Amino acid sequence: MSLNVIDDQYNDLPFEVTPYSPTIGAEISGIDLAQPLTDAQVEGVRAALLDRKVIFFRDQDITTEQHLDFARNFGEREVHPFAPHKEGYPEVLAITHDRERPGQENGWHSDVTWRLEPSLGSVLRCLECPPMGGDTLFSDSYAAYDNLPEAVREKVEGKYALHDFEGFRTRLRDRGIGEEQIEAFNKSYPNPEHPVIRSHPETGRKGIYVNAAFTKHIIGMAQADSDALLGVLYHQANMPEYQCRFRWAKNSIAFWDNRACQHYASSDYWPHFRIVERVTIIGDVPYYKSDGPATDLDESPFRGRIKRQHTDPGPNLFKV
């Protein structure tokens, strides 16, 4: 599969692939997720996911069991310890937002990086969406890394950062969970240290692996210096050139690679309903290798300020 360009590679797959942007996102058509996938379809979906980081399916009227069966093709399913699950299905997160429970996932993040072994990917299906709004945006972590200013890259290569489920801890207390039980969660999910730049275990590509939701600080740096450097890394996810945007409809499905992208659920639809269910696939321990495939920046589709900042980041972008 290609590293960062659209070409004719998808002609060999047993379904159609329509890319959403130069480097991230694609819609898959010609496949019915209500039916068991063939080996060729599983291999093709995995290949499309690895290349596009997030893939989308439309008009998939499937059951909860079929949702789980699809995810099972790519690994074991995790049980989220804090988020509400669908009754009778501990592996299915039930996410409902309405007038009393407005959306709150509108921050860039990669799922469960507070785990020692964060997820491989997430499969989200829409049961009910608002008449307008509620889109999910995805940001390419490879492109975010590839286009870092050289001065920043020199400071983050090989560094590790601490991750924590602090936001969930706050919600647990709001729900009346006692400190003894919270301490039990702390012991079950100790704060992991993950590489700031992660090597993808299947593609070998390097991508930024810190996020504002769960990353606390870079190990071995003063907090002020860490905060400044993390701010630069977080800013990369905000670049529209690295993003695609998905507009939900009933029976739409998104499958994203948490090792290669971040996502942002737009919260612009209150007081309407948005009901989705998520199955998350268990991943492995993140690691960093100095070598591996790299994008040829001379062939990058990104120009303007993005290209200039490699050698001249500017006074307001990087102050550490």
Residue 316 has a pLDDT of 53
DSSP category for residue 170:
H
Q: Is residue 32 part of a domain?
A: yes
Q: What is the dihedral of CA 268, 145, 140, 275, to 10 degrees?
A: -40
| Residue 37 pLDDT > 60 | yes
At 298 the pLDDT is 61
pLDDT tens sequence across 45-71: 999 999 999 999 999 999 999 999 999
Considering the entire predicted model, what is its pTM? 0.92
Higher pLDDT, 292 or 63: 63
Residue 62: domain span? 8-308
Is 73 a residue whose pLDDT tops 80? yes
pLDDT at 317: 52
CA distance linking residue 255 with residue 269, whole number of Å: 22
Determine contact, residues 92/85, Cβ cutoff 8 Å.
yes
Full DSSP string of 252-313: -EEEEETTTEEEEE----TTS-EEEEEEEE--------S-S----GGG-S--THHHHTTT--
CB atoms inside a 10 Å sphere around CB 234? 19
Paired with 278 in beta bridges are 93, 124
Run of H or E including 242: none
Burial of 111 (0-12, 13-18, 19+ CB in 10 A): buried
Catalytic residue list: 109, 111, 263, 278
Which residue type does 191 have? Answer: N
Is 145:314 a contact under the CB 8 Å cutoff?
A: no
Reply yes or no on whether the pLDDT at 313 is more than 70: no
- Contact partners, residue 230, CB within 8 Å, separation at least 6: 161, 210, 212, 215, 217, 218
Both structure tokens of 313? 């980041």
Query: Does a structural domain hold residue 96?
Result: yes
223 within some domain: yes
CA separation for the pair 227, 75 (Å, rounded): 35
3-state DSSP call for residue 75? coil
In a domain, 2, yes or no: no
44: domain CATH number is 3.60.130.10
| 3 within a domain of the structure (yes/no) | no
Report if residue 105 sits inside a domain: yes
What is the domain count for the chain?
A: 1
Contacts with 120 (C-beta within 8 Å, 6 or more apart), sequence order: 74, 75, 257, 258, 259, 281, 282, 283, 284
Is pLDDT above 70 for 318?
Answer: no
Give a yes or no: residue 51 inside a domain.
yes
Q: What is the mean predicted confidence (pLDDT) over 100-127?
A: 94
